[in-house]
Amino acid sequence: MLAHLFPGDAEVLTALGHASGNTRVRAGIHFSSHVAAGREIADEVDRRAIALARADGSGF
C-alpha cells in the first residue's frame, strides 16, 4: 500500500518490508513460509483496498 501511495519510494519501502520479514525469520519468530504467506495476503489486501478506493468516487 505504501509503495502505491509513494511510488518514488516504492523500491526502498519494498526492501524494508522484505528486510523486516527476513529479520523475523532469523530471530526465530516465524518460518520463512509464514513470511511468504503474509506477503501474499498483504499483496491481495493491497490490491483489493486500492480497487475499492478507486471505485468509491473518492478520487484515490
Taking the CA atoms of 32, 35, 41 and 46 in sequence, report the sign of the dihedral they define: negative
- The ranges assigned to domains in the chain are 31-60
Average pLDDT value over all residues in the chain: 93
Q: Region 34-60: what's the mean pLDDT?
A: 92
**Per-residue model confidence (pLDDT) at position 1:** 87
User: How many alpha carbons lie under 13 Å from residue 20 in its C-beta half-sphere?
Assistant: 8
The rounded distance, in Å, linking the Cα atoms of 50 and 30 is: 28
Residue 5 falls in which region: left (phi positive, over 0), alpha (psi -120 to 50) or beta:
alpha
